[in-house]
A and B are shown apart, each in its own frame.
Chain A
Amino acid sequence: MADGGSRQSGGYIGQSVPRREDNNLLLGNATFVADIQLPRMAHVAFARSSLPHAKIKSVDTDSANGLNGVLFVATGKEVSAELPPINGMQVVTPEGWRSRVDTDILIPDQPLIPDDKVRYVGEAYGLVVADSRYIAEDALELLEADFEPLQPLPDAETALIDGAALVHDHLGRNVAAFLHTKKGGGADAMDDAPHRLRRRFVHHRYAAMPMECRGVVADYDARTDTLTIWSSTQIVHWVRREVSTALGMPEERVRCIAPDVGGGFGGKGHVYPEDILIAWLSKKLGRPIKWIEDRHEHILNAAHSRDNVYDVEIGFDSDGRILTVTSSFLVDSGAYTPVGAGIAGNSIAHMLGPYDIPNYETDCKIVLTNRTPNAPYRGAGRPEVGFAMERAVDLVANELELDPAEVRFRNMIQPENMPYDVGLTYRDGVPMVYDSGDYPKALQRAIDELGGLDTIRQRQKDALTEGHFLGLGLGCYVEGTGVGPFEGATVKIDPTGKIIVATGACPQGQGHETIFAQVAADLWQVPIEDVFVTVADTGHVSQGYGTIASRSTVTASGAIKIATDEVHEKVFAIAANMLEAGEPDLEVRESGIGVKGVPDMHVTYLDIARAAKPGWDNQRPAGVSPGLESTSYYEPPTVTWAYAANAAIVLIDPETGQIEIERYVEVHDAGVLVNPALADGQVKGGLVQGIGGGLLEELAYDDQGQLITGSLMDYLLPSASDVPPITVIHHETPSPLNAFGVKGLGEGGAIAPPVVIANAVCDALRPFKAELNSTPVRWGDVAAFFENSV
């Protein structure tokens, strides 16, 4: 570990450095997209379908156009005449994955505004630009649209029935992708298992639901022929790419900035039609254009997630050793599939989790329906598959009358088997090898934190004798983090001697400006105040990827290190010239470079910056080019493997079915923590989202494809009083795959809670042999076990 030295000598990595982001946010001085006001700015509102599937026969725009204050009205006809659809595959998996996983992929492109038919409730069929948002919304009322309703496809199973209507006629089928993979003997090995168990597991539809909805402001400047876009997004470089493609402008002439972003969690992790439409309108109308999504629009139109059905079979022996797992699952993709096979690919890769299971076979259908498009949300396929697998492990334990903890310990990969070759391929195309960790220890620690297994079981017995129902729920997972393809960083020494860092990472509350300042301050050995970090602006770093998939700490730190190393080469060469010393005799120290063992012989970065300048009186040695700046890219060899063990105790009220989580523990390992306080906040925030998903949150559709949870009064987000006591314990097993030993952790917390809650409730209801194999876990379903047993 090249950088272990700087940490040991009192560096910033590993310290809970206070966030530099807090000041503006606390004072009300932050700039979210909605806060941007530009001269002559016009406002957009979208007409959105209230039908799930309908032919657009006509949209009469005359009345709307005639309203005072309306500047422009467009429907699918005008938009499709000028703009191509968004490529259906915003994320393309590498050849290495496609060649190792059987795939048959037909991902539809997404029209910016369709001109043939609407495919989900909330899809736009028109837009209005006006002097104010109020007038734009008035004009929407004047649009006269004539629709011919078509057979709705309200869910994946309906869409797969022979003869079902097609969501995208030209595809000829409602399956966007078939995927299949296997390990060992696959399903054939099932015949050798002494015991077999089959179940269906359902993980329902819910969503990221950030507190800030989406929004875009665009400003085209005709003089310089440049477009500046401010978008509430996690991926500024993708927005730049798609706008550049759609408008036929060089990427260099398109700048995308994500200003303060009010949460993302994956829901802002791909390019939406509005990102392109608002840019197009600004160029077309020659005015700054603003669109701010309202909450109702967000619930209808921003990506939903989860919504999987798993049919699982598990084969095991009498000791509880799991021999073979097979699964066949459906992903309800909704009407489009903006992130392609990403979610399903994750599910396939993560099913075996921390267990050593020799045989595995899985197939998946990503199914197009008349629901809102499905895209990754915190966990992205892992909560779904984790629910199926971790419920199944509990069922194996029940079948054999073993403790679920014991079955987990018997199947877990042991620390001495690290690194562990899983025998599958990750979606970066690289064979999956868990890099480091101690899974049994994490589980043991989680259980011990709740008092130890014997104590918990005794409590459970005692409770039962008094007519109380107490259950222990467990849930373990592994998580591939820090995925490629790359991240970019520019590092330079400013003429003032300060260290300037920019990366393609795009934070939405993670504290990137703080943690990347910590990383750079350690690499340069400067006070953290001398490091200036810019994030989420394509104008500051040439190529970037963005903040999705628990990747930024790993990938952006890697890019910062490479760029720093490259600048260091010149810094050393110039310092050697200035100090008249050999480079091997130099060292990085105290904001500059010094001669080893000679405290007085020292030049500061300010001195070196002056010496490196182009032109007269520079002090560069021959052959060293001017300037101290590098833009570099970290291409991770593959993912780092974070993991966690979760344990919770629940109490059930037999009268109401109320589920009280007495205490929830997660033992989490994300390698070296750059900033422990921020890491802790990420995991805890994720856990509460997972608890919300497990108990409260639901995007429900009726059998006609109508979304019936269209407000925050129907879609229940956890509030402070819904949150149980939570303990997070961090193990720090450094990853051997990068210089800092870091792993990603943004998503982890949200993965396990739904299954931990279900397992805990079933454990509490053991006397009834209760099984809850779908989410959300509803009080009513719990109460029914008591009623039916009377």
Chain B
Amino acid sequence: MNNHKSINVTVNDEKYSGEAEDRTLLVDFLRDHLRLTGTHVGCEHGVCGACTIILNGTAARSCLMFAVQANDATIQTIEGLAKGGTMHPLQKLFSKHHALQCGFCTPGMLMTAIDLVHSRTNLSEEDIREGMSAALCRCTGYEGIINAVSEYAEQISSEGSING
């Protein structure tokens, strides 16, 4: 159990090197070793989605992976969403639509939404509801979350049509 491996990861465009036991969960590595505590642990069995990060471009449960599995990976966490002191548009929309109360699920919710909106096109409200079911919120009843993600999806699709 004291078998330490060195781990190199790029998190939010910064390179990190660290050591962790084989059994160290990726979420514990992010939170305890890299001190990136924005990613939360809600259930440790892959249901609640609070620990969702973007790993090599895809949403992943960081509580269901070992840190060693993320060696050489590129990771995006909640801390990397805002750029240069400006909130990501989805963060602003969450505030606008009162899509958070206690905020514990919010980091995982945001990462889930970003993966959903950027990996698919022509999302209907039903698609968004289904996609966002990958993360649980106990406070809001989801209305604000769905509204925020829907508006973001519209923004992205209209940007896409302008650019296209």
Contacts and interface: CB of A to CB of B under 8 A. Distances in A.
Interface of A: 18-19, 21-32, 34-35, 37, 134, 138, 209-213, 260-263, 265, 292, 294-296, 508-511, 677-678, 680-682, 684-689, 711-713, 717, 719-723, 726
B140 A684 contact: yes
Given A211-B50, A720-B146, A295 B45 contact: yes
Contacts of A722: 133
Central interface residue in A211, A260, A263, A265, by most chain B CB within 10 Å? A211
B127 to A, nearest CB: 10
Interface stretch (B54-62, B91-99, B151-159): B91-99
Contacts of A24: 103
A719 B132 CA distance: 8
A374 B1 CA distance: 39
B1 to A, nearest CB: 7
Given A26-B95, A212-B40, A262 B104 contact: yes
Contact of B45 (A25, A265, A510, A713): A713
Contacts of B133: 719-722
B82 A134 contact: no
Interface string B63-82: 00000000000000111011
A681 B138 contact: no
A134 B132 contact: no
B114 interface: no
Contacts of A262: 40, 102-105
5 contacts: A22-B95, A26-B94, A34-B37, A681-B144, A717-B136
Interface in B113-164: 126, 128-130, 132-133, 136-146
A681 B101 contact: yes
Central interface residue in B82, B126, B139, by most chain A CB within 10 Å? B139
Contact of B78 (A22, A27, A261, A689): A27
Given A26-B91, A260-B102, A712 B77 contact: no
Central interface residue in A26, A680, A687, A711, by most chain B CB within 10 Å? A26
Contact of A713 (B40, B47, B142): B47
A134 B103 contact: no
A30 B104 CA distance: 9
A722 B141 CA distance: 10
Contacts of B35: 37
A35 B141 contact: no
Nearest to A688: B141
B147 to A, nearest CB: 11
Contacts of A265: 138
A351 B104 CA distance: 35
B100 interface: yes
Contact of B21 (A28, A134, A509): A134
A292 B102 CA distance: 18
B138 A134 contact: no
Interface in B24-64: 24, 31-32, 35-45, 47-48, 50
- Top 9 closest A-B pairs, CB basis? A28-B38, A262-B104, A25-B103, A509-B102, A509-B101, A28-B78, A688-B141, A719-B133, A712-B47
A386 to B, nearest CB: 19
Contact of A685 (B47, B91, B101, B104): B101
Contacts, number: 173
B136 A26 contact: no
Contacts of B39: 28
Central interface residue in A265, A717, A719, A726, by most chain B CB within 10 Å? A719
Nearest to A34: B41
B5 to A, nearest CB: 15
A211 B104 contact: yes
A689 B141 CA distance: 8
B23 interface: yes
Nearest to B24: A134
Nearest to B32: A37
Nearest to B133: A719
Contact of A134 (B23, B77, B79, B91): B23
Given A712-B48, A720-B146, A295 B104 contact: no
Contact of B138 (A21, A138, A209, A720): A209
B42 A711 contact: no
A680 B21 CA distance: 46
Nearest to A135: B1
Contacts of A678: 98
Given A210-B138, A687-B141, A723-B142, A510 B103 contact: no
B138 A711 contact: no
Contacts of A296: 44-45
A196 B50 CA distance: 51
Given A27-B78, A261-B102, A681 B45 contact: no
A726 B82 contact: no
Contacts of A29: 38
Contacts of A511: 101
Contacts of A686: 141
Given A27-B78, A37-B35, A211-B104, A685 B40 contact: no
Given A29-B38, A685-B140, A717-B138, 9 more contacts: A22-B94, A22-B100, A25-B103, A25-B106, A27-B78, A134-B21, A262-B104, A689-B138, A726-B143
Given A18-B95, A689-B138, A295 B38 contact: no
A688 B142 contact: yes
Contact of B47 (A30, A260, A711): A711
Nearest to B12: A28
Nearest to B38: A28
A508 B138 CA distance: 11
Nearest to A717: B136
Central interface residue in A19, A263, A511, by most chain B CB within 10 Å? A263
Contacts of B21: 134
Nearest to A25: B103
Nearest to A713: B47
Contacts of B78: 27-28
Contacts of B146: 720
Given A211-B138, A717-B136, A720-B146, A295 B42 contact: yes
Nearest to A680: B98
A30 B1 CA distance: 32
Contact of B40 (A32, A677, A684, A688): A32
Nearest to A295: B43
B95 A263 contact: no
A712 B103 contact: no
A27 B78 CA distance: 7
Contacts of A212: 40, 42, 102, 104
A19 B104 contact: no
